[in-house]
Amino acid sequence: MTVTIVGSQLGDEGKGALVDLWGGNADIVVRYQGGDNAGHTVVEGGEEYKLSLVPSGAIRGKVGVLGNGCVVNPRTLFDELDTLRDRGLDPDVRVARRAHVIMPYHRVLDGIEEEAKSDDDLEAGTTGRGIGPTYEDKVGRRGIRVGDLLDPDVLRDRLEYVVPQKRAVVEDVFGMEAGEEFDIDALHEEFADIGRRLDAEDMTVNAGDFLGTELDDGANLLFEGAQGTSIDIDHGIYPYVTSSNPTAGGASTGTGVGPTVVGQGEVVGIVKAYLSRVGTGPLPTELDGEDEDLADYIREKGGEFGTVTGRPRRIGWLDVPMLRHAARASGFTGIAVNHLDVLAGLDEVKVGDAYDLNGERLETMPATTERWAECEPILKEFEPWPEVDWAAVADEGYDALPDAARTYLDYLSDEVGAPIYAVGVGPDRAETIELVDPFERDA
Ligand code: GDP
Ligand code: IMO
Ligand code: MG
């Protein structure tokens, strides 16, 4: 069977922690979109791992697959694999031959375009990893795929077509100088070499075939979504979004496993008990202005600084219309709610229960970001819960949570229309209360 893990908000909901928890029952952990813009944290017995590209199942020694929907920077991949090996792990990662390669010029172009857009405040605040430009080339049918690296002649043909175009964009459109990232011979040498390494280490696969065969043999697949629903290219707050589909449909198109198979499995939305945002754009429930101190407190307590870029994350109250939208877009069968411990001990706990848009009450997100920016949150107040010994609560289970925290969780579950599968009360694997293991719900 399959279990798909999806970010319900703006990324960084703690997906890595749940992939690690439920990865215990998985045979293979599969990324289906995104690239090294992701930063997923796993904490096991106090030991912290931050993963950008290697699927989070690596900490438990599971086979990892980067599906065809991913964009792969081979430099980052090899660096991350080396770092994990230095820490005593033995990661086994396979890369889809249909996945697209992030080339050095994509990163340069990411930076140039963000800079150009910043004059009009239209920059997305990207991670600078070249994600958008790589997906652009994929859709523009001028991308370089992992399979192309294995054939030096094909690689040369692809580079000779695309690199002069990229060079022209930099020089003629932006009036800048194109550096070594745009040198066909140097690129060919480096990336043909990467192809030889991928081949020698037997790292490439036909992802759909590989996963389909494993499923036929009874394997459990865990699909690890990166980013989150509100930064999905289709369902998010365009243009302040990433360039892929973190929503559950991406698990099918991004791996070659059919939607009926993904749909027969479980789809779990990961929810942070408040909002955090690393990028730009509106945020109706943002804690700013006179709430700045509260935001600072939550940011420090929750360690809300970007895993990839180190940027301080913006903080807001939970946005419930955003969650209703996420639950529908992915068809959540369950949710996991993280960071309940971070909200403990506050004087007030609020959520945006609905929006007021020019006097009209909205239960879900409007389709344009400009309308979303005009939404005033209709806040609902909850009784705050006290600081407690979270390790003890995690040991004892759900019933040991403070009453007020359970009221908050019940409300969330009702509004989203999905049961609670897990509750995070701290970053460590041992600090997640599991109510349901989705792999044990196979019909
Ligand atoms: P991801 O991108 O969704 O995997 O999330 P990140 O790893 O970027 O950010 C989540 C951060 O919160 C990490 O530092 C996690 O270790 C931490 N974390 C996850 N769950 C909890 C939780 O329930 N409580 C607290 N305090 N931290 C958590
Ligand atoms: P994980 O998997 C939070 C945001 C960026 C920016 C927008 C586009 O750790 O949850 P990109 O580099 O993807 O072109 O940037 O998306 N973003 C994330 N925000 N968590 C992430 O990943 C993100 N990946 C991208 O900040 O606003
Ligand atoms: Mg993250």
Q: Among the atoms of ligand 1, which is closest to the Cα of residue 342?
A: 26
Pick the closest to residue 110 from 102, 100, 101 (CA basis): 102
Q: How far is the CA of 319 from the centre of ligand 1 (A)?
A: 18
Query: φ and ψ at 323, to 5 degrees?
Result: -75, -35
User: Any catalytic annotation for residue 325?
Assistant: no
| pLDDT 10s digits, 297-327 | 999 999 999 877 788 999 999 999 999 999 9
Exposed/middle/buried for 35, CB within 10 Å: 0-12, 13-18, 19+?
buried
User: Residues 185-193: what's their mean pLDDT?
Assistant: 98
Contact present, 225 and 251 (Cβ < 8 Å):
yes
Provide the pLDDT for residue 280: 86
| pLDDT 10s digits, 254-310 | 999 999 999 999 999 999 999 999 888 999 999 999 999 999 999 999 999 987 778
The token pair that represents 359 in the structure block: 């006097």
Provide the pLDDT for residue 194: 98
Q: How far is the CA of 329 from the centre of ligand 2 (A)?
A: 19
Query: φ and ψ at 162, to 5 degrees?
Result: -90, -35
User: Any catalytic annotation for residue 12?
Assistant: yes
User: Residues 19-33: what's their mean pLDDT?
Assistant: 97
Q: How far is the CA of 349 from the centre of ligand 3 (A)?
A: 24
In order of their start, the domains of the chain are 2-97+206-440 (3.40.440.10), 100-200 (1.10.300.10)
Q: What is the 3-state secondary structure (H, E, C) of 224-277?
A: ECCCCHHHCCCCCCCCCCCCCCCCCHHHHHCCCCCHHHHHHCEEEEEEECCEEE
Q: Among the atoms of ligand 2, which is closest to the Cα of residue 37?
A: 24
Contact present, 12 and 307 (Cβ < 8 Å):
yes
150, pLDDT greater than 90: yes
**Pocket probe mutation, ligand 1, options 41, 43, 268, 276, max atoms within 8 Å of Cβ:** 41
DSSP-assigned states of every residue in 383-422: -------HHHHHHH-GGGS-HHHHHHHHHHHHHHTS-EEE
What does pTM read for this prediction?
0.97
